[in-house]
Amino acid sequence: MELIKDLPEIYEEFAEQRKKSFLGIKSLKEKGVPIVGVFCTYFPQEIPAAMGAAVVGLCSTSDETIPDAEKDLPRNLCPLIKSSYGFAKTDKCPFFYFSDLVVGETTCDGKKKMYEYLANFKPVHVMELPNRQSEDGCTMYKNEIIRFKKVLEEKFKVIITEDQIRAAIKERNREREALKRLYKLMKKDPAPMLGDDLYKVLYGATFKFDKKQSALEIYAICDKIEKEYEEGNHLEKRPRIMITGSPVSGGASKVIKAIEDNGGVVVVFENCGGAKSVEELVDEQNPDVYEALAKRYLNIGCSCMSPNPSRYKLMGQLIEEFRPDAVVDVVLQACHTYNVETIGIKRFVTETYHLPYMSLETDYSVSDIGQLNTRMAAFLEML
Ligand code: BJ8
């Protein structure tokens, strides 16, 4: 695929993709395509994809709807949870509006309790996610995936076959491979692009409903970046940063900006939205498609798992691959699980890898941007 546009224009188009897909989802709805709204990386996308449904990430990353949410929910709750609820309550998320079914998982306490109230606005199905990545946990999640498949079959009066699931697994794996090729380009030093631009593509791609086409586009972008890199078009040398912790989309993307406005470059996102959501493929050789899905999804290293070895494993792998100069651990305010995990992550980063580490707590507001910039400038200065 030939890309005629320049890279900055392509990045901006991906940044606009969420808004552009408002119309896309409307037209899918008019054609009778079932719409499934989701919030979390643990959601096994292949099951609804197998029946031809569109899967869409629901709005949850802006502080615009938080005052409305705080009328019902406690103020000292994670902004992601308040924002999600606020969008549903105020009907300001077009994806929520068009969703036939909203699916949540029993991840952190705040989220799973919030889903109880979300059911006042939409049909909600909650998947029971175990908190341990044990063999029993895997069997339990496999059964949950089968239960979810039955819920879809009953609700939409369809039969979902294993062959359809297998095809969906292949399609999503091809998309994952394309996204991996893109973010692995950041192993180059100096980096080929800003982390902010990389994130625009990673985030925008989740709002492309034609996954085959999306994978082709991403491969074409990779080719273009590589060609430009060979011609000497890349960033100057900058301190290389890994971001880990809570998701940094929307309001929390100010952290990426603070790093890059102060001279650093985010070369790898370990958190959801980055490698945590994409890195591991579903095993296409496993004859048991449900087990293959359960294993892949349950292996995600979110702090709601206890213990959480997958996070350390992925971080170690990414540190070795991307050679960051430091790690920034982002905690969304009142996220107890990521907050408690900071001490373990700090020890891991500083004692095992001897890298500088910073944890910071933030929300979706603009109130701490000045403070973030000051802290980041001082942190980058010492690298
Ligand atoms: S798999 S990171 S998308 S749960 S930040 S709502 S954990 S209090 S966003 Fe997440 Fe799934 Fe995990 Fe990823 Fe709770 Fe923490 Fe808020 Fe969080």
Give the distance (Å) from ligand 1 centre to CA of residue 88. Answer: 18
Domain ranges for the chain: 13-166+238-383
**Ligand 1 atom nearest residue 42's Cα:** 1
Residue range 314-341: mean pLDDT, rounded:
98
Cα(267)–Cα(270) distance, rounded to whole angstroms? 10
- Interaxial angle between packed helices 17-30 and 195-205, expressed in degrees from 0 to 180 and rounded to the nearest 10: 0
Give the distance (Å) from ligand 1 centre to CA of residue 41. Answer: 9
Confidence at 2, pLDDT banded by 50, 70, 90: low
Q: Count Cβ atoms within 10 A of the Cβ of residue 108 and give its class: 0-12 exposed, 13-18 middle, 19 or more buried.
A: buried
Kindly report, residue by residue over 223-273, the tens digit of the pLDDT. Answer: 999 999 999 999 999 999 999 999 999 999 999 999 999 999 999 999 999
Give the DSSP letter string of 297-308.
HHT---TTSSS-
Q: Is the CB of 110 under 6 A from ligand 1?
A: yes
Residue nearest to atom 14 of ligand 1 (CA): 108
Candidates 3.40.50.11900, 3.40.50.2000, 3.40.50.2300, 3.40.50.970; correct CATH number of 13-166+238-383?
A: 3.40.50.11900
For 368, the 3-state DSSP assignment is coil
Q: Is the CB of 293 under 6 A from ligand 1?
A: no
> 307: cis peptide before it, omega within 30°?
yes
In this structure, what token pair is assigned to residue 152?
């879809």
Mean pLDDT of the chain: 97
Strand ranges, E, within the chain: 35-38, 54-57, 101-105, 124-127, 240-245, 265-269, 326-332, 357-362
**Ligand 1 atom nearest residue 79's Cα:** 16
Query: Which residue type sits at 140?
Result: M
Query: Which residue type sits at 190?
Result: P
Give the distance (Å) from ligand 1 centre to CA of residue 276. Answer: 12
- Ligand 1, residues 38, 111, 271: which to mutate, most atoms within 8 A of Cβ? 111
Instruction: Give yes or no for residue 3 having a pLDDT over 70.
Output: no
- Ligand 1, residues 335, 337, 361: which to mutate, most atoms within 8 A of Cβ? 335
What is the end-to-end Cα distance of the chain in Å, rounded?
40
Confidence at 5, pLDDT banded by 50, 70, 90: confident
Cα(240)–Cα(244) distance, rounded to whole angstroms? 13
Instruction: Give yes or no for residue 181 having a pLDDT over 80.
Output: yes
Kindly report, residue by residue over 41-51, the tens digit of the pLDDT. Answer: 999 999 999 99
Question: CA neighbours within 13 Å on the CB side: how many for 232?
Answer: 0
218-234 b/e (C-beta count within 10 Å ≥ 16 → b): bbebbebbeeebeeeeb
* Matching residue, tokens 């938080």: 66
How much is the pTM? Answer: 0.96
Q: Is the CB of 111 under 6 A from ligand 1?
A: yes
Q: Write down the number of H helices and E strands in the chain.
A: 17, 8
In this structure, what token pair is assigned to residue 335?
């996220």
Q: 274: closest CA among 244, 297, 237?
A: 244
Instruction: Give yes or no for residue 378 having a pLDDT over 70.
Output: yes
Q: Is the CB of 204 under 6 A from ligand 1?
A: no
Residue range 275-286: mean pLDDT, rounded:
98
What stretch of H or E contains 217? Answer: helix 211-230
Q: Is the CB of 115 under 6 A from ligand 1?
A: no
